[in-house]
Amino acid sequence: MSTATNTTATDTVDPRAARRPARSGAAAGGSANTATSAERWSGYALLTVLAIAVVIPFLSVFLASVQPAGTPVVGLTWPERWSWDNYEAAWSVAGFSDLIRNSLVIALGVVPASLVLATLAGYALGTMRLPGGDAVAGFFVAGLTIPVELVVVPLYFDLRGVGLTNSYLGVILAEIALFMPFSVFWMRTHFLATPPSLVEAARIDGASSGAILLRILLPLARPSLMTLGLLVFMWSWNQFLLVLVLIQDTTKHTAPAGLGFFVGQNSTDIPTLAAGTIIVMLPILILFAVFQRSFIAGLLQGATKG
C-alpha cells in the first residue's frame, strides 16, 4: 500500500518538475533576445539623429518656399509672412503641368516592364538550375557598378541611330536597362529565400513552371514587388542626366530636367526656386506616405524568413 502511494505521488509531481527547467530556458531565451535599456536608448538616439539629418534640409527648403518672392534666404529662417504665391508662380512659369505629365508617362512605362522582366529573370535564376545561371547572376551584379554617366553618351548615339532620341520610348527603354541589374538582383534574392519545399511540392503535383510562379510564388512576392516598384518609380522620376541628353525637345522634358532649366532662369529668386523643388519632390513624398507599410514590409521580408 505504501509503495503504491509513493508511486502515485511520484507520477503526480514529476511532470510539474519536468516543466520547470523548460520555463526557465524559455525565460532565459526571451531575456537573451530582449535589448537592454542602454541598447534601446542608443538606438533611439541614433534614429533621432538620422531623422533630424533628413528632416532639417527638407524643412529648410519648405520654409524658404513660403518666404515672400525675392527675399534673400540664409539657412533655416522662419518667414515673417507666409507667401504661397511662389508655388503658383513656379507652376505657371516652369510649366510643371506638362513636366509632371511627361514624368508620369515615362515612369508608368518603366515600372511595369521592369517588374515583369525582373520577376521572370529572378524566378529563373533563383529557383531553376540553369547552365551558367550563377555567371548570368554575376553579370547582373556587375551591372550595379556601372554609372549612368559612363554609358549615357554611347547610348545617345545608339538610340539616335535607330531614331529613338527625343522620344519617350527611347528614355523608357534606357531606364529599364539601367534599373534591370538591381531589379533582377532584388527578385532573385527574394526567390532564393523562398522555401524550396513549396516549389518541390508543386512540381510533384504536376504544376508547370508558369503555374508555380503565378499561383504560389507571386502572391508571396507582393511585398518585395511593392518595394521594388516604389524604388523604380522614384529612380525614374528623379532621373535627370539621361533625360537631359536623350531629349533635346524641352516640351518633352521631365520634372527634374525642367527644374534644372527653371533654376537657370531664376537663379536669384530663392523662394520661387524652393517652391519648384517642393513641387518636384511632392509626388514621391505622397507615394511613400501611402505605401510606406508595404515598402518597409518588403525591405524586412528577407530578414524575417527562416
One-letter amino acid of 184: V
Per-residue pLDDT at 76:
78
Per-residue pLDDT at 302:
53
Per-residue pLDDT at 33:
53
Per-residue pLDDT at 39:
83
Q: Enumerate residues 6+ apart whose C-beta is below 8 A from 202.
A: 211, 212, 216
14-28, 158-172, 233-247, 282-296: least confidently modelled range: 14-28
Per-residue pLDDT at 301:
65
213 burial via Cβ count (<10 Å: 0-12, 13-18, 19+): buried
CB neighbour burial string for 59-83, b if at least 16 within 10 angstroms, e if fewer:
eebebbbbbeeebebeeeeeeeeeb
Q: Can you give the C-alpha Rg of the chain in angstroms?
A: 28
Task: Identify the residue with better confidence: 79 or 140.
Answer: 140
Cα gap 33→98, rounded to integer Å: 53
pLDDT tens digit string along 258-289? Answer: 998 888 877 778 888 999 999 999 999 898 88
Per-residue pLDDT at 167:
93
Cα gap 90→61, rounded to integer Å: 14
Per-residue pLDDT at 260:
87
pLDDT of 18 > 90? The answer is no
Per-residue pLDDT at 75:
73
21-25, 73-77, 170-174, 245-249: least confidently modelled range: 21-25
Contact (CB, 8 A) for 257 and 106: no
pLDDT of 3 > 50? The answer is no
Question: What rounded mean pLDDT belongs to the chain?
Answer: 84
Query: Which segment, 81-95, 206-220, 230-244, is predicted with the most confidence on average?
Result: 230-244
pLDDT tens digit string along 107-161? Answer: 999 999 999 999 999 999 988 888 888 899 999 999 899 888 899 999 999 999 9
303 burial via Cβ count (<10 Å: 0-12, 13-18, 19+): exposed
Per-residue pLDDT at 32:
47
pLDDT of 30 > 70? The answer is no
Phi, psi for residue 190 in degrees, rounded to 5 = -65, -50
Residue located via cell numbers 510649366? 95
Task: Kindly indicate the confidence band of residue 194, based on its pLDDT and cuts at 50, 70 and 90.
Answer: confident
